[in-house]
Amino acid sequence: MLALRNVTYSYPLQIQRERPVLDDISLELPPGKVLCVAGNNGSGKSTLAQLCAGLLLPSSGSLELEGRRITRKSDFLELRRKMGILFQSPEDQLFAESVFKDVSFGPKNLGLKGDSLEKRVRKACEMVGLPLNLYGGKSPFSLSEGEKRRVALAGILAMEPQILILDEPFIGLDFEGRKLLESALEAFMRQGTASIILFTHELAHCWKLATDFAFLSGGKIAAFEKGDINLLRDMDFSSLSMNLPQWAVLARKLSNMGAKINNPESPRDLALALISIKESSGGK
């Protein structure tokens, strides 16, 4: 399990009287969970993502892995071996002349070769919807934005990380690209007890994936919710400078009126809830 305990972070040249970028952050990520960390631009999401990945060191507080505080260089090396991070821009992680060479780079450095290496690469590419026989010989830089992001993700999945960190993974993608990436992440979660931390300013694309939600505002955790039922009923999103998806706004209204909604993202379930409300009010 990855955990942050009372973590504060200030940039090295930050003026002392300025507010820290992150202030007293405590989070836990148990195995098999998908934590959505949501906040508007400037809330500290990308900095927190880098702290979780061990790319930045806390100014105070601690980062823990499996109950052990991470302090030594060897601890951070172990964390990075178990961690995969997908940055906002896929070009930051792509470098090889072909998709196969790019995805195989990580597992090759782990010592895999021959059939074992090809099997690992093939599995990762299929998981992200980029079959090796169709994409393996292509340059990753010739692909669409969504395909580049999935190649970068395949390179991470080929390392079989225990924890996957995603920084705004859906930004700039069209509907098809978002659905394909969503399917890839669902396939990854079905593989076992891996965990995901997903940083975003848009809740709509993360709702289906997330098991827990943390809301970041002004460098602090403003709220934490397990599941989406409490989220629909209780959260004041305007105070966080965030908006619910349109279907979630409708689901919240129906829920507050007493309707039971199995899946708030389902148009059919929303329609059935609306019908039940009308029937209970005599069609008014």
- At residue 159, the pLDDT reads 93
- At residue 19, the pLDDT reads 81
* 35, 141: one domain: yes
* 40, 116: one domain: yes
pLDDT in tens, the chain (284 residues): 899 999 999 987 766 667 889 999 999 998 899 999 998 888 889 899 999 988 888 999 999 988 889 888 788 888 888 899 998 887 788 999 999 999 999 999 989 999 999 999 999 999 899 999 999 999 999 999 889 999 999 999 999 999 999 999 888 888 888 888 888 898 888 877 789 999 998 887 787 788 899 999 889 998 888 876 555 566 677 777 777 778 888 888 888 888 888 877 788 989 998 888 888 876 55
| Residue corresponding to tokens 């993608």 | 173
* 249, 234: one domain: no
* 251, 224: one domain: no
- At residue 77, the pLDDT reads 82
- At residue 116, the pLDDT reads 95
How many domains, the chain?
2
In CATH, what number is assigned to the domain containing residue 69? 3.40.50.300
- At residue 73, the pLDDT reads 77
* 38, 172: one domain: yes
* 266, 239: one domain: no
**Calpha distance 81→252 (Å, rounded):** 41
* 106, 227: one domain: yes
* 152, 218: one domain: yes
User: What sign for the dihedral angle of Cα 83, 86, 87, 89?
Assistant: positive
- At residue 225, the pLDDT reads 81
* 233, 259: one domain: no
- Which range marks the domain in which residue 249 is found? 245-284
- At residue 253, the pLDDT reads 85
Taking a C-beta distance cutoff of 8 angstroms, is the pair 126, 188 a contact? Answer: no
- At residue 229, the pLDDT reads 55
The CA distances from residue 42 to 234, 240, 264, in Å, are 24, 12, 29
* 253, 219: one domain: no
* 173, 263: one domain: no
- At residue 17, the pLDDT reads 63
* 165, 49: one domain: yes
Please write the tens of the pLDDT for every residue from 137-168: 999 999 998 899 999 999 999 999 999 999 99
* pTM score: 0.85
- At residue 284, the pLDDT reads 58
